[in-house]
Amino acid sequence: MVFDNTLTAPVTKRNGPISPDTLALTPSQMGFLWCFLGALFVVRLVAMVLVPFTDTTEARYAEIARKMLETGDWITPQFQYGVPFWGKPPLHTWLSAAGMGAFGVNEFAARLPIFAVACALLMLVYYWARAEKGKGFALVSTAILASSGMFFIASAVVMTDLVLIFGTTLSMVAFWNAIQLRARARLWGYLFFVGLAVGLLAKGPLAVVLTGLPVGLWVLTDNRWKDTWHRIPWFSGTLLMLIIAAPWYLAAEFKTPGFLRYFIVGEHFERFTVPGWKGDLYGSGHRQPRGMIWLFGLLAFLPWSLFFLRPILRFRTIAEKFRGDDGGWGRYQLFWTLSPLIFFTAAGNTLAPYALPALPSAAILLVLCWIDDSSSGAPVSNRSIQVFKGLALGLTAIMAVALIILAFAPGLISTKSQKTLVAETTRLAPSDGGDLVYWKERYYSAEFYTRGKARRIDSGGALARLITDARRDFLAIRPRDIGDIPANVMDRFSPIGQFGKVMLFLEKPLTNSPATSLQGSLS
């Protein structure tokens, strides 16, 4: 099985002569790639059902979406009942809450809308790449993007990032088409601003930066100022963007004053410029060495990031090809890939998902580099193709095995999720049962699986009220914290078992022990 790499002659396409590097595939090769994508689809779909919500990130966002559905408050996401969550705009929350409203409160329903967005993003990349470089090129690029480590994980996780990169990808595709196409250029120009609006509602002004930086670099280096000014509907498009995104921002500030100051200044300036930022209301700053985003980018694109090694070693050849690309396609992908990494290089607080906006273009850029490399007289070897096939099959096998393990050994993930513990409390719930309380720790997954009933306590008074309320409650506590509670109080609970890092206890039936003596032990 070999790839047939050919170069088509320059053709007049869109705004002028472009020499697309067409990656021609045999029918069997196309079939292999479609089967690979199908296997990824099935594995990810099954994982949406089997994998429970884990603390802290996904469980937190899922619980916020569940609270939105329960309370009917679609303006202000809630960190706790009555406590606003100002950390992120609500687009992903709306999607997950709508999914649970349609299909019930469960993992699959919360993840399904995010997965649908991921599939739409892959289709957008495929059809764009096909229009520019042909079916084979588009299929390889899409397969690489879909199977890259961070994208595969994020494609069905209740988080902001996947919705954000859909918005930035739509804007980047729309901008290119608006500049290059004569037909429907104005429609693509408006879609550019629709993508920005999606980004604003997914993660905020960061979307404008992540789109504006690569677009600006490409316009500058390719001297496309005139086309950009005339083909992009800047005034009416900006108005459209504001009509879509601004109402929620205004409503959120009106409903909970202080939101704009915290979100715009805190989340979009201080978070990235102040190492170990202390202003986070919902967690803590993720302090990392400056420049860590480059390592995150490498890890996010695994295993395919390793394939950039050969083009890097042949940098001069690749650079010459990009400089000779009259359409600017290669440079557009390069600037798009590098912009998030450059932008976050100086950030004092970074996370691995911050590299996600670079992945759609990285997949296209990787295929471009290998084809450009082969056109210079160094064709893609059969060995490289076998490595690609081996990685594709290996990734599918690894993911399938992981799903089987999760299906038959769910306890392996219990250290990060409270689903098994909550199920045990449901099974053992006495007729006079009360609540599930956690000592000093908050577990969002427990709140989700108990429909908001699990709660955290951290004071002796709260524990005293718990054991004197004539109901038998469950107490979940880390073994290291048991010493914080007097022995005569712990004697009021029977151990059930350990679930990951948490031990579960059930309150014994109420005895004639004076409540005052127990309260005195906790005072």
28 shares a domain with 130: yes
Where is mean pLDDT largest: 29-33, 146-150, 304-308?
Answer: 146-150
Q: Are 286 and 349 in contact (CB under 8 A)?
A: yes
Q: Is residue 413 part of a domain?
A: no
Alpha helices (runs of H) in 51-181, residue ranges in sequence order: 57-71, 91-103, 107-133, 135-147, 149-154, 161-180
Cβ-proximal residues to 127 (8 Å cutoff; 6+ apart), any chain: 138
| Domain with 503 in it | 419-522
Phi, psi of 72, deg, nearest 5: 75, 10
Sign of CA dihedral 262, 263, 267, 268: negative
Name the residue among 205, 241, 201 with its Cα closest to residue 77: 201
Q: Copy the structure tokens of residue 27.
A: 């029918």
Confidence of residue 167 (pLDDT cuts 50, 70, 90): very high
348, pLDDT greater than 70: no
Pairing of strands 502-507, 472-477: antiparallel
359 shares a domain with 489: no
Q: Is residue 190 part of a domain?
A: yes
91 shares a domain with 32: yes
Confidence of residue 344 (pLDDT cuts 50, 70, 90): confident
2, pLDDT greater than 70: no
Q: Copy the structure tokens of residue 104.
A: 């019930």
Q: Give the length of the chain.
A: 523
Q: Copy the structure tokens of residue 437.
A: 């309380």
Tell me which of 165 and 508 has the higher pLDDT: 165
The number of distinct structural domains making up the chain is 2
Q: Is residue 481 part of a domain?
A: yes
477 shares a domain with 394: no
Per-residue confidence (pLDDT) for residue 353, from 0 to 100? 87
293, pLDDT greater than 90: no
Q: Is residue 412 part of a domain?
A: no
Phi, psi of 426, deg, nearest 5: -65, -40
145 shares a domain with 282: yes
Domain closes at, from 406, 436, 454:
406
Q: Is residue 130 part of a domain?
A: yes
Q: Is residue 462 part of a domain?
A: yes
Per-residue confidence (pLDDT) for residue 376, from 0 to 100? 40
β strands within 234-355, DSSP E = none
Per-residue confidence (pLDDT) for residue 13, from 0 to 100? 45
Residue-by-residue DSSP string for 324-350? T-TT-HHHHHHHHHHHHHHHTTT-SB-
Average pLDDT, the chain: 83
Read off the pLDDT of residues 297-317 as tens digits, 9 standing for 90 and up: 888 898 888 888 777 777 776
Domain closes at, from 337, 371, 406:
406
146, pLDDT greater than 80: yes
What's the predicted TM-score (pTM) here? 0.86
Confidence of residue 387 (pLDDT cuts 50, 70, 90): low
Give mean pLDDT, residues 81-96: 92
Rounded percentage of the chain residues whose pLDDT exceeds 70: 80
Q: Copy the structure tokens of residue 54.
A: 């884990």
